[in-house]
Structure formats: C-alpha cells, structure tokens
Structure 1
Amino acid sequence: MSTKRDYYEILGVQKSTPKDEIKKAYRKMAMQFHPDKNPGNPEAEAKFKEASEAAEVLLDDDKKARYDQFGHAGVNGQGGGGHGGFQNGDFGDFGDIFGDIFGDMLGGGRGRGRAGGGRRSTGRPGDDLQMGIDIDFSEAAFGTEKTISLTKNVRCETCSGSGAKAGSSPTTCDYCNGHGEVRRQQGFFTVSSTCPKCNGSGQMIKDPCGTCHGAGKRKKKVDLQVKIPAGIDQGQRLKLSNEGDAGSNGGPNGDLYVVINIRAHDIFERDEFDVHCTVPISFSQAALGAEMEVPTLSGKVALKIPAGTQSGVKMRLKGKGIQRLGGYGVGDQIVTVHVETPTKLTSEQKDLFHRLAEVDENSNPMSRGFFDKVKDLFQ
C-alpha cells in the first residue's frame, strides 16, 4: 500500500479546485520551501519536492484524471514519482509557474522573455530628461511659444548609431552568441543574466567609430520650440515625446519633460483660473461712491464703486480671468476693495475731518452696532 500523501492534501486543495487555484497553491508552497530560500534545510527541500510532484500531476489533465481514478498507481513512472516530468522537459503550464516563481525570487517578475526561444531584443530606450522653464504671468494666462536649449545624448551621425567605424560593422558577441544574456542551471531552473562581455547588446565593436568611440551616441546642444498652452499653472509639466536621450542599439529615444515656473506678478495673484487683485480707494470714494478704472489681464475696465462700500468688499468681473486649459471657459477677476486711511493731512484736511467727526455719529452703522453689543455685554 502506498505511503505517499494525497496530492490534494499536500497542496491544500480539493478535486473540484480550478487549475488556476491549484497553480496559486503550488506557487505559494514553492516560494516558501524552495531550496535557494532555505539552504541546508532538508525538511524544506523535501516539502518542495513533494509539492512539485503533486503539482506536476494535478496540473496535467491526463495525469490528474488517472490519479483521480486510480490514485498513485495511476501515475507511477509517469511523472508522479522521481520528477520524471522535469527531466523530460515537457512542463506545459507547470513550466509557466516555474518562470513566475523564479522571476519573483529574483525580484523581477517574468519580464519580457524571448518569444520562441530566439534572440531577445537588445535595443534599449534612452533616458527621460527634465528641465524647468520660467514664463511670465500673462504668458501662462494666454499661452506662448518658447525656445529652450539643452544638452543631451543624440544618435551619432557618423556611424548612424551603430558605434562602428565607417566600412565596418558590429560582430556577434562570442560569449552569449548574440543573445545578450547568458544562462546557467540552478536546481530545477535555468537562470538568465545580462551578458558581462557585451553588456546585453549581443554585439561587439572591434573597430569603434572615431566620433562616438563606440557608444553610438554623443552629447549635443540642441534648441527646441515649446508651445505653452493658455491656462497652464505653476509646476505643471509638458511632455515632448522622443526629445530625451537617444536610445542604444536601435532603441527609442526617451522623452523630455518641461516643468513650468511662473514669475510673480506685481498686481495679480492666481487662484486656479481666477485672478485676484486689490484696488485702493479713498474715504470719500467709499462713502460717496465712484466709477474708476481697474487693471485686468486684457486691459483697463470701468468698475462702479457703490456709495457706502466697506473695506474688504470683493467685486467680481466675469470672464476677466484665465482661460481654462483646453479652451473650456474663462475664469473671473476678483477685485478686493481696500479703503485707505489718509496720512500726512494738511491743516484744511484736518479741519474737515474734525467737522466730520462731530456729525458722523449716526452714519457708521457697523460701529454703532458694535458698540451697542459692547454696552449690552457689560450691563
């Protein structure tokens, strides 16, 4: 009678458990008990082998059917004992799980793999770049176009990016045979790593280009036109596709990100798409009312100050703010009225204010209400 544990019991699953769940159960155990994560631990190694044997059978539809009908006897000598399936190399879904587990153990997941066992793509994308640009308040409001200068890696014109001298060409790396990676066996797994001789390019340059010295790219100062849309705000970024560093071995260029810095304005402040400004008025203008010109981003406009206006009152000028990004509407301008207290009065002005003080007891409703409340408080 067989002394082997039930395969379902080993993985903690049922006969009706879907194959994806069986994969997850095995993957969890394999990650926990893999010998590389438990060096010198024979108990963990035994559990890893036991789980692998169970998964090899339960993830194969034909073997699972025979096991369900005949038990261990139905799969003896066919992968259910001694890991024959590993040695035959026909892993099917089981091999996919190995790839997942091994990728996780190396910290990289399954990655990009090589389709059909062929050579991997050795082209590497260039680095993304970032730079700042200063613009005026009004340029941010209405949009503008700027020329920026930067130094970046560009594809070498002399060798067209190959890195090889004119009349020659790169040769296949003799260490990795052009794959860009080397493999070594580690337990049940095959480990792939970047080729140390060609640094993953799969090619060797024996006669390098005299301009780029074999790099395939060189530093160059370039000027670019940047279109800045109306309504852009502080700290926002513009993406210039393919304007970053050049790629290697035919890889695409990186991108360039331009970060916006808006210079402070002498009069205006911004709140999203609204513009704020403070307008000073005199006592007489506040008391009697007035019509005055106030500045906006698009020029001066007339603003009516009602009689009796208090300091701090806000008035809204519709549509005099900043255009929303994409052209969907325009913000407003908010004018805050500040009533100025006069200084350095003339003798005539002092006399007038003294006369006003004698008669203005009933003309200041806010003061009258305040002192009435104070009187009630201390009664």
Structure 2
Amino acid sequence: MAATDWATKDFYKVLGVKKDASQDQIKKAYRKLARENHPDSNPGNQAAEERFKEISEAYAVLSSPEKRKEYDEQRSMFGQFRGAPGGFGGGGGFRTPGGGSQADFDVSDLLGGLFGGRGRGRQRPQARKGDDLETEATITFEQAVEGATLPLRMTSDEPCTTCHGTGARPGTTPKVCPKCEGSGMITGAAGGLFAMTEPCDLCRGRGLIVENPCETCHGTGRAPSSRTLTVKVPAGVKDGQRIRLKGKGGKGENGGPNGDLFLLVHVEPHRLFGRKGDHLTITVPVTFDEAALGAQIQVPTLDGPPVRIKMPAGTPNGRTFRASGKGAATKAGGRGDLLVTVEVQVPAELSEAERAAIEAFREARGTSSPRDGMFEAVS
C-alpha cells in the first residue's frame, strides 16, 4: 500500500481509541472489534469482512511503537498540507516543482519513506531501461538512393547468459538489498518537508545484493555479447545522417524497456552521380559543335536505361537540363529528377581537318568578339 494511503487514514478512529491511547488500550480495542467483525462470525457479510480488514490494517501500524511514531509524524505533516493555502483542497492552485497543478501532485513522493520505505515500487528491484548504443555503417551511393537492408554485427553488454542476468553463481540467488528494500533508490533528508532521492550506495542502484558472484560477469549481471541485427536503411538517406532505431539498443533489466540504437550512415561517393536533395546530378561532356549547332545526347541513369536530352543550338557551357522522375526516391513514394549539366569540351589536340574547319569558322566570324561589350562598359 502506498504511503499516501496510510497517511490519509485515521487508524485511531478505525479502532475507536484516542490518539494518546496506551498499547494495552489499542490491543483491547482491536480484539473486541476483531471478534465482532471476523469473517467466521459473519459468513457472507461483505461489509463485516471489509471492516475486519480495516481493523487489522490499523492495528498493524498502531501496535508497533516505531511505525506508530512515523505514522503520527506523517499524519501531522499531511495535515499541514491539507490546511495550507493553496494546498490540498485549497483554492491556491498548489504547483509541483515541475509546474503541475494540485491534481498532478502525488503525496507519496513526499511520504515515500514511511514505514521503512514501503511506498510504491519498493518491494521488487527497479526496472531499468537498457543502454542506448551507437554504431556506424558505410553504404554505397545506390543503397542510399534506393534504400537497403543491412546486417549489423553488434557487441554490447547484455544480461549474462551464465546467470541469466542475476549476477549470482548458478544454483544461488541474489537477495533484496536491505538498505533500499529492492527499489535501487534511497531517500535522504534535504531540509524542510522534502527529501532527496538517489541511487542506493550499497547495491549501486540494482536493488539486489549478490553474495556468490557469477564467475562470468563477476556479479554485475552483464557480460559482453555479440549479435547480428537486420537494419532497414530508408531510401534517400544522406551521408552523415543519424538514424534512430527504437528498441534495438541494450536490453533492459527487471522488465525495463530496451535502449535505442543510433546508426551513423556514411555514403560512398559515386563516380558519375551526385545528390541535391531528392534530385540526382550529373555533368555530361559535349563537343563544341553539339553546343553550337544543337544535338540530341544520351545520358546514363542510375538504375535504368539512358535518357535522351535535346540540346538546342547555341547551348552555353554549364546549362542544366532536367529529366523528370529519374532521380532519388522520395519519402512520399515518388522520385526526384535527374539534373544534367553540360560541359563543353575543348580538344587538346586537333587533326589537320579539324584545324582547317575551325580556322574557316574564325574567318567567317570576322573581327567580332564576345568581349567587346566589356570594354564599352568601362570606357
């Protein structure tokens, strides 16, 4: 039962005694009420059975001087909160340190140390999330564009296979930590009405004490383990992108969730193609006469037949053409475009016929120069 439930019940009223009643008076009152409401004396009487449970609960606390003292202290503190302006039942809108309203405030957070720490979750080791892991993978340009399924070999700390994560030698069992009673956390006074909760220094937050350590993991319950994961890399992933794979990290303890795996992706460059968002890019060399007179050129694609690009006469160097739907896969399920940039090639060597043709072109062009306008602009 949570500490809140203990502190909000008036056990003295349940037994019909005053707050300063002696132990003998409490015992006498309990025996009288227990005889009157015992299930054996009231077969089929649900109300008497519930009353008997309340009486037994009250006596379990008030019959112990230590528990009774703690109960009185917590009842006194709880009463201060109920009567304080803006406290429980007040109109001031009591706020928790995190900004929640009175409806969000859980008194058991204040009273968690009542009766030796028997608040919520104190009876068994605390569930712990597994570690987040990070690894890297290098994929080809094609895999980045189209998506891929990769096998990843992972080595991480997992529950020990010898002791199955208990940390104890086979044939033995760990015991619940006597200091934190299995919660893995301890509460110490921090001044005022509040307390500071931190990992137990005796069991180091595990909630368990191992007296006969496992020879494989030396009592930690964890040991290096290798496993192969099949990971799906989505289409369109970029170089340097970090992908989160939920639940693929280290395994949790005591029923806790697995951690996450973060995959850092490296993409190998392609000899011909580049990326620009969802579009692929390629630079294609063309000859001077193709650019000057116009031409239809074939351009390779990444994963299909080549496409034909129609270059009009007078195409300048560096002009970009677009082949729709020939780019990378998009998140929406479509494809980007292929952006084709032409680069006019100047031959390093000329045959006699080529030289004669170019000289004839120069003679036909006359004395005009594309640089003439530059001098006019500065004159």
- TM-score normalised over the length of structure 2: 0.66
Tell me if the contact between 1:161 and 1:250 (Cα under 8 Å) persists in the aligned partners: no
- Residue 194 of structure 2 corresponds to residue 194 of structure 1: no
Question: Which amino acid is 2:174 matched to?
Answer: P
Tell me if the contact between 2:126 and 2:182 (Cα under 8 Å) persists in the aligned partners: no
Distance 1:248 1:143 in 2: 34
- Residue 260 of structure 2 corresponds to residue 255 of structure 1: yes
Q: 1:253 to 1:343 in 2, by over 3 A?
A: same
Give the CA deviation at 1:152. 0.7
Equivalent of 1:178, from 177, 182, 186?
182
Tell me if the contact between 1:291 and 1:303 (Cα under 8 Å) persists in the aligned partners: yes
Question: Which amino acid is 1:230 matched to?
Answer: A
Equivalent of 2:119, from 103, 112, 117?
117
Tell me if the contact between 2:307 and 2:323 (Cα under 8 Å) persists in the aligned partners: no
Tell me if the contact between 1:212 and 1:218 (Cα under 8 Å) persists in the aligned partners: yes
Q: Secondary structure at the residue paired with 1:296?
A: coil
Give the CA deviation at 1:134. 0.8
Give the CA deviation at 1:98. 11
Corresponding residue of 1:306: 312
Tell me if the contact between 1:158 and 1:211 (Cα under 8 Å) persists in the aligned partners: yes
Q: Which moved more, 1:115-124 or 1:290-299?
A: 115-124
Give the CA deviation at 1:86. 8.7
- Residue 240 of structure 2 corresponds to residue 230 of structure 1: no
Distance 1:309 1:215 in 2: 72
Deviations 1:163-221 (A, max 9, x none): 22233222122223334333344543344332211112222111222332222221112
Q: 1:268 to 1:225 in 2, by over 3 A?
A: same
Give the CA deviation at 1:151. 0.7
Tell me if the contact between 2:167 and 2:220 (Cα under 8 Å) persists in the aligned partners: yes
Gapped runs of 5+ residues in structure 2?
1-71, 100-105
- Residue 338 of structure 2 corresponds to residue 333 of structure 1: yes
Distance 2:290 2:163 in 1: 76
Gapped runs of 5+ residues in structure 1?
1-83, 104-109
Deviations 1:216-239 (A, max 9, x none): 221112111111222222222332
Q: 1:156 to 1:372 in 2, by over 3 A?
A: closer
Distance 1:165 1:330 in 2: 58
Distance 1:150 1:293 in 2: 45
Deviations 1:10-57 (A, max 9, x none): xxxxxxxxxxxxxxxxxxxxxxxxxxxxxxxxxxxxxxxxxxxxxxxx
Deviations 1:48-76 (A, max 9, x none): xxxxxxxxxxxxxxxxxxxxxxxxxxxxx
Q: Which moved more, 1:330-339 or 1:200-209?
A: 200-209
Tell me if the contact between 1:216 and 1:248 (Cα under 8 Å) persists in the aligned partners: no
Q: 1:349 to 1:249 in 2, by over 3 A?
A: same
Question: Which amino acid is 1:160 matched to?
Answer: H
Q: 1:101 to 1:320 in 2, by over 3 A?
A: closer
Q: 1:102 to 1:296 in 2, by over 3 A?
A: closer
Distance 1:338 1:142 in 2: 28
Q: How does 1:38-49 map to 2 (within 5 A)?
A: none
Corresponding residue of 1:374: 375
Give the CA deviation at 1:101. 6.0
Question: Which amino acid is 1:271 matched to?
Answer: K
Q: 1:87 to 1:240 in 2, by over 3 A?
A: closer
Q: What value does the CA root-mean-square deviation take over the aligned residues?
A: 3.3
Distance 1:176 1:234 in 2: 48
Distance 1:372 1:102 in 2: 71
Distance 2:282 2:364 in 1: 34
Q: Which moved more, 1:255-264 or 1:245-254?
A: 245-254
Give the CA deviation at 1:294. 0.8
Question: Which amino acid is 1:141 matched to?
Answer: V
Stretches of 4+ aligned residues off by more than 6 angstroms: 84-87, 95-99
Distance 1:335 1:157 in 2: 57
- Residue 269 of structure 2 corresponds to residue 268 of structure 1: no
Q: 1:144 to 1:192 in 2, by over 3 A?
A: closer
Q: Secondary structure at the residue paired with 1:303?
A: strand
Distance 1:116 1:318 in 2: 68
- Residue 137 of structure 2 corresponds to residue 133 of structure 1: yes
Corresponding residue of 1:317: 323
- Residue 94 of structure 2 corresponds to residue 92 of structure 1: no
Percentage of pairs with the same residue: 35
Q: Secondary structure at the residue paired with 2:236?
A: coil
Distance 2:128 2:162 in 1: 20
Corresponding residue of 1:45: none
Question: Which amino acid is 1:371 matched to?
Answer: D
- TM-score normalised over the length of structure 1: 0.66
Question: Which amino acid is 2:160 matched to?
Answer: C
Q: Secondary structure at the residue paired with 1:348?
A: helix
Equivalent of 2:209, from 198, 204, 207?
204
Q: Secondary structure at the residue paired with 1:245?
A: coil
Corresponding residue of 1:351: 356
Give the CA deviation at 1:248. 3.3
